[in-house]
Structure 1
Amino acid sequence: MSRQRVVPRVLSIAGTDPTGGAGIQADLKSIAANGGYGMAVVTALVAQNTHGVRAVHVPPPAFLAQQLDAVSDDVEIDAVKIGMLGTAEVIGVVADWLDRVRPPLVVLDPVAVATSGDRLLDADAEDALRRLVSQVDLVTPNVPELAVLAESTVAVSWEEALAQAGRVAARHGVRVLAKGGHLTGEHLPDALVEAVDGAVSVTEFPGLRIATRNTHGTGCSLSSAVATRVAATGDWVRAAAESKQWLAESIRHGSELEVGTGNGPISHFAGLWRRGGTTTAPTAEDVESAWWNEIGALRADIDDLPFVRGLGDGTLPRDEFLGYLAQDALYLRDYARVLAHAARLAPASDELVFWADSAQGAIAGELQLHESWLTEEALRAVEPDPVTTAYLNHLLATAARGDYRVLAAALLPCFWIYQDVGERLHALSHERHPYRSWLDTYAEPAFADATRRAIGIVTELAATSDEATRRAMGLAFRESAAHERAFFAARRGAPRA
């Protein structure tokens, strides 16, 4: 048994198929689709298509040996899948290599008869193939190939196929994955057959026949899938069951490929495409750069606002600044509640702590600053204006929908934009600047650290989300950024005491 690996390194030793549906081409797709890294050594060049084999060219056996040694001299192999070999001499080269290298896991698909009915193995090589069976861990014959290994006539019933598989398992000390695809009937069973201490055990995997012409390369694909999954899990039964389920899914979607006019290929990646898509997920750094650039024009607008320019150079009328602070105080009270809601939704404890600390900071720190400028009586008399109300409605509605990731994205601009604006304006201010205490708050290293943490949390959430969630997060972020601009742009007078 191979050492279990997250990404098994699987070597396919087989012939080619220029249409990509069988042979090494199918093996590599199958290995990748089932979570492995595929490698390939070519035993034969086959001129074939979905209708059948036209010609076979076998390269010199010495070159086959060189290919095998080139791989094993450099790469630690976790599993080997063997397919078409073609001649006794080729089988001998592979058998000698197996003896020398001793791969931890070997699966043999004893390719002798293709789905199309073509004979793919020289008749004089059958004895050599049967000897090779004793050197592998699992053999995966179709019904005609099982008959070759059992030196019997082709089985016409599932019971007869299981009996042949039992004889092969006992004679060669090998596991046999018997397959019912060549039998008639609605049901399509497979079975893992083993001989242990003189007794034959059978684990069956039921299935139903799928009405399709897309069965080209099913044997190659199944054996490669089993090799990959066993190398990953160490469990033969689980690997066989999961591989059969994957193969059925791939067969069902094969016709969607529209490849060939005969027995078409299966769609090896159909499940992955449907569940994961083909869009490359961005990194957290990609998200950060993209989102910041997307609001670039909005950030430029904020810099050009009279309020921000006046705040920066100290010429902003005091009444306008007090009106802004009064609305900000009202905003921060509900903003703190939304931060607390994000803490409740956060799945990770460190994120929970961050949002909870931010909620406390919004109340304890920033409201204290507001109260140093405004009397409690003045604050009690203030009502939220339409701009404040719209921003809070956006945040509260996002919180009510209950998607933590989208809510976190909606909260980010209040960190990121304020820290960006505050830090740059603070650099322009002086000790006697009338609003220096406000600028100090948003230029503090602690606020910069909190902003960096918020960016890190949100962009990592976006990078690890599905595409639909990532789009929703980006939209919530941009909406909040637009509300930030509107908040700075609103013209306000001093609150009445």
Structure 2
Amino acid sequence: MSEIPNVLSIAGSDPSGGAGIQADLKSIAACGGYGMAALTALTAQNTRGVTGVHLPPADFVTAQLDAIADDVRVDAVKIGMLANVETIEAVGAWLAPRRGPGGPAVVLDPVMVATSGDRLTDDDTVAALRYLVSHADLVTPNLPELAVLLDTEPATTWPEALEQAQRLAQQADVLVLAKGGHLAGHDDGATAGRCPDALVGLDGVVLELDDERVDTTSTHGTGCSLSSAMATLYARFGDWPTALRAAKGWLTQALRDAADLDVGSGHGPVGHLGQLWAGKSVPDPRADVQYWWDLIEDLRARIDDVWFVKQLADGTLERADFEHYLAQDSIYLRTYSKVLSRAAQLAPTLDEQQFWANSASECLAVELGLHQARLAEAEARGETPTEGEAPTSAETRSYLNHLLSAAAIGSYAVVAAAVLPCYWLYQDIGTRLAAANRPDHPYADWLGMYSSPEFDAATQQAIAITQRLARQADPREREAMLDAYLESSRQEMDFFAQRRP
């Protein structure tokens, strides 16, 4: 995935600069891409409305597209205004052989309904647009356009909008961006003063975001701008939820920055480049470790459902299973302490060196305590303690190999990211396990150690260190950090789920 993606906009022009190709190119640049354009319509318009439209022949649209593709790699395509059937068919024919693995991501903004609510396209054009949806990865209709694609009435509530988006996703096998901007005039209380957006797939909502509605009349071209931002940010980050988080944050600020512009007397444009003029860039969501935590929300829920965690919490865990876990945890902690020692060696400040070194020392103390507890429990039952160390399980070996690899070839930032789940996930799980404790719990003493103020403080420091490193990292290192974090999280899941031989 290119760090500076080439993004092609196929759309009409707006000479006043607020919508269409002009808005697309500014949005692409603001979001970190190189913008290109193939014009499908020339308009005479300003902030008060459209006074004329000229359509180039469909074969000339194809000629523009071929000229670009013959010379320039295209990482993403945004499609906007396509005013007639011939142009839609030409664009579809050009896209068809380029779809699939290795092809550009395609975002379709089906421009069909004006802000006034008037239809801009006839029935034949709408039918052709419905077919073009099958060539897209993401469709970004406003609510009236979503209704036209489904041949129904526009949604007046957010739940209705989500239901319609899912229906379109299922009909066309496409991801749909449901947008709540048009709900301002149909406020049911749930969206009062808010502007929700959601990615909706075949099975329902993939990601839903909510933000405060910006009080402004400068809303001209917001649909064009958001769809172009989504195409660019997907090409940069490689997944739609990340793209939406970044695009929504950028557009919300661009709506606020519109106040700094003095363009026209009607519905003005958003401040596409306001953040660049202020010396800022579109934030990379991967620089926020809270985003990392949100990415593993489903995994965290699945850990809570792991047989070991559930039985440990309710006290039904067999003693042999518990001792197997302690034996594997003892093996794990011994090697994990070496990885923490490596972090101490790489740390640039004395405070961070001491933090990682103290954590490594604590691991060895905990490992010894676990081993002694296991021996004492066996002796109390009249059993002969097993001499030597238990065999390392496949799950434990896999986790340790991952951590050792990060320590051997990763930067300080990557090592910190790799060990972060060892703090954060354990604290998260431990808090709930400690809450499940009771005086008659068979593992009461052990559960009491699972959550402590000292470990909470250590977890917060590990989070803070990793957060600082993520914000300082360049895109390649940040991606490596996130990969290491996600793999450690998966390994944590497998570690808890392992069974004794």
Report the alpha carbon displacement of residue 176 of structure 1 after superposing the two structures with TM: 0.3
Secondary structure of the 2:135 match is coil
Q: Establish whether residue 11 from structure 1 lines up as the match of residue 8 from structure 2.
A: yes
Aligned-partner Cα distance in 1 for 2:61–2:77: 15
Aligned-partner Cα distance in 2 for 1:252–1:134: 35
Aligned to 1:165: 165
Aligned to 2:201: 194
Q: Any idea what the Cα deviations from partners look like across 1:284-320, whole Å, max 9, x if unmatched? A: xxxxxxxxxxxxxxxxxxxxxxxxxxxxxxxxxxxxx
Kept in 2: contact 1:176–1:194 (CA 8 A): yes
Aligned to 2:279: 275
Secondary structure of the 1:206 match is strand
Aligned-partner Cα distance in 2 for 1:62–1:31: 26
Of residues 188, 197, 210 in structure 1, which corresponds to 2:214?
210
Q: Any idea what the Cα deviations from partners look like across 1:213-261, whole Å, max 9, x if unmatched? A: 1000000000000100101111210101110010000000112111010
Kept in 1: contact 2:15–2:43 (CA 8 A): yes
Aligned to 2:21: 24
Q: Establish whether residue 240 from structure 1 lines up as the match of residue 244 from structure 2.
A: yes
Q: Match of 2:241, as an amino acid?
A: V
Q: Any idea what the Cα deviations from partners look like across 1:182-238, whole Å, max 9, x if unmatched? A: 11231110000011xxx3234211012111110000000000001001011112101
Kept in 1: contact 2:117–2:144 (CA 8 A): no
Report the alpha carbon displacement of residue 116 of structure 1 after superposing the two structures with TM: 4.8
Kept in 2: contact 1:14–1:41 (CA 8 A): yes
Aligned to 2:127: 127
Secondary structure of the 2:254 match is helix
Please show how residues 63-82 of structure 1 align to structure 2 within 5 Å. 63-82=60-79
- Root-mean-square deviation (CA, aligned residues, Å) is 2.0
Report the alpha carbon displacement of residue 24 of structure 1 after superposing the two structures with TM: 0.3
Aligned to 1:260: 264
Identity percentage over the alignment? 58
Of residues 57, 60, 65 in structure 1, which corresponds to 2:57?
60
Kept in 1: contact 2:198–2:205 (CA 8 A): no
Closer/same/farther in 2, CA of residues 116 and 33 from structure 1, 3 Å limit:
farther
Secondary structure of the 1:182 match is helix
Aligned-partner Cα distance in 1 for 2:61–2:278: 38
Aligned to 1:152: 152
Q: Establish whether residue 83 from structure 1 lines up as the match of residue 83 from structure 2.
A: no
Q: Establish whether residue 43 from structure 1 lines up as the match of residue 40 from structure 2.
A: yes
Report the alpha carbon displacement of residue 120 of structure 1 after superposing the two structures with TM: 3.4
Q: Any idea what the Cα deviations from partners look like across 1:403-460, whole Å, max 9, x if unmatched? A: xxxxxxxxxxxxxxxxxxxxxxxxxxxxxxxxxxxxxxxxxxxxxxxxxxxxxxxxxx
Aligned-partner Cα distance in 2 for 1:128–1:27: 23
Report the alpha carbon displacement of residue 135 of structure 1 after superposing the two structures with TM: 1.0
Aligned to 1:487: none
Q: Any idea what the Cα deviations from partners look like across 1:73-111, whole Å, max 9, x if unmatched? A: 111100000000011111000000001333321000011
Kept in 2: contact 1:51–1:116 (CA 8 A): no
Q: Match of 1:186, as an amino acid?
A: G
The answer for unaligned runs of 5 or more in structure 2 is 185-191, 282-347, 350-501
Report the alpha carbon displacement of residue 121 of structure 1 after superposing the two structures with TM: 2.9
Report the alpha carbon displacement of residue 272 of structure 1 after superposing the two structures with TM: 1.5
Aligned-partner Cα distance in 2 for 1:24–1:220: 8
Please show how residues 43-442 of structure 1 align to structure 2 within 5 Å. 43-102=40-99, 103-117=103-117, 119-184=119-184, 185-195=192-202, 199-276=203-280
Kept in 1: contact 2:13–2:39 (CA 8 A): yes
Q: Match of 1:71, as an amino acid?
A: I
Kept in 1: contact 2:162–2:205 (CA 8 A): no
Report the alpha carbon displacement of residue 118 of structure 1 after superposing the two structures with TM: 5.0
Secondary structure of the 2:214 match is coil
Aligned-partner Cα distance in 1 for 2:205–2:280: 38
The answer for unaligned runs of 5 or more in structure 1 is 278-346, 349-497
Aligned to 1:443: none
Aligned-partner Cα distance in 2 for 1:56–1:117: 19
Kept in 2: contact 1:50–1:260 (CA 8 A): yes
Closer/same/farther in 2, CA of residues 173 and 99 from structure 1, 3 Å limit:
same
Aligned-partner Cα distance in 1 for 2:244–2:38: 24
Aligned-partner Cα distance in 1 for 2:271–2:122: 30
Kept in 2: contact 1:81–1:107 (CA 8 A): yes
Secondary structure of the 2:50 match is strand
Aligned-partner Cα distance in 1 for 2:19–2:79: 13
Aligned-partner Cα distance in 1 for 2:176–2:149: 11
Closer/same/farther in 2, CA of residues 116 and 261 from structure 1, 3 Å limit:
farther
Aligned-partner Cα distance in 2 for 1:173–1:126: 18
Aligned-partner Cα distance in 1 for 2:98–2:64: 13
Kept in 1: contact 2:98–2:104 (CA 8 A): no
Please show how residues 437-476 of structure 1 align to structure 2 within 5 Å. none
Aligned-partner Cα distance in 2 for 1:29–1:275: 16
Aligned-partner Cα distance in 2 for 1:201–1:41: 33
Deviates more, 1:199-208 or 1:261-270: 199-208
Kept in 2: contact 1:8–1:78 (CA 8 A): yes
Secondary structure of the 2:28 match is helix
Kept in 2: contact 1:44–1:56 (CA 8 A): yes
Q: TM-score, normalised by structure 1?
A: 0.54
Aligned-partner Cα distance in 2 for 1:194–1:276: 33
Aligned-partner Cα distance in 2 for 1:55–1:130: 26
Aligned to 2:303: none
Q: Any idea what the Cα deviations from partners look like across 1:152-202, whole Å, max 9, x if unmatched? A: 11111111111110000011010000000011231110000011xxx3234
Aligned-partner Cα distance in 2 for 1:30–1:205: 20
